[in-house]
Amino acid sequence: MPKVLITAGPMSESIDSVRSITNHSTGKLGQEIAQAFDAQGCEIFYLRGRGGVAPGLAGITEIEITDINSLQSAIGNIFENHHIDIIIHAMAVSDYRPKVKFDGKISSDAEEITLVLEKTPKIISLFRGLAPKAVFVGFKLVTGLTYEGMLDKAHGLLTKNRCDFVLVNDSGKIGADHTGWLVDINRNVTEFKGKAEIAEGIVREVWHKWTKLT
């Protein structure tokens, strides 16, 4: 059975000892994907952003992630000790973090505070170097693009990072009516409705590709 690495949920970057920048990801789709792979009997390594839903599965390796540094460390440890066959990078990784983390708690007496942000390292760019033969799925969240524009963004991410598939979502369609489009290197597109269908579709396509490679 393949070994599967799944990243899912939100990420948090500290401003001071009590405040942070985070996002609204719930990790629910990652949970659904983990459950679908678990049903296939896979060994799963699950990197869950703090505050995201837990997969609720016995026998998997689950690691809680706080910020970009803890994510990089966890990924490095896993690949150092395991051969990963499938990568599902669904985590809502922070694009920016505070350039300076303040010691202690910033005083609440100030009328305004200027916060300078810097770009974070692109974690998705690490995976292909760590696992050249793994089946690799990236995720892209977009807002307000046309259908073709959305596919262009997904395919661009795919080619840049040598993914096998990218699941693209529109931020306006990730609630109860979550819609996702799975794009491959040839710009073939499969549409899924609902998180359960998205998860099952990803596992089906990934499983098909993995079995062809083994």
Q: Which residues of the chain have pLDDT under 50?
A: none
Q: Mind listing the pLDDT tens digit for each residue in 47-104?
A: 999 999 999 999 999 999 999 999 999 999 999 999 999 999 999 999 999 999 988 9
Residue 214: per-residue pLDDT: 82
Residue 177: per-residue pLDDT: 78
Residue 209: per-residue pLDDT: 96
The 3-class secondary structure across the chain, one letter per residue, is: CCEEEEEECCCCEECCCCCEECCCCCCHHHHHHHHHHHHCCCEEEEEEECCCCCCCCCCCEEEEECCHHHHHHHHHHHHHHCCCCEEEECCCCCCEEECCCCCCCCCCCCCCCCCCEEECCCHHHHHHHHCCCCEEEEEEEECCCCHHHHHHHHHHHHHHHCCCEEEEEEHHHCCCCCEEEEEECCCCEEEEECHHHHHHHHHHHHHHHHHHHC
Residue 156: per-residue pLDDT: 98
Residue 192: per-residue pLDDT: 96
Please give the model's pTM, rounded to 2 decimal places.
Answer: 0.95
What whole-number distance in Å separates Cα of residue 83 and Cα of residue 202?
21
Residue 2: per-residue pLDDT: 96
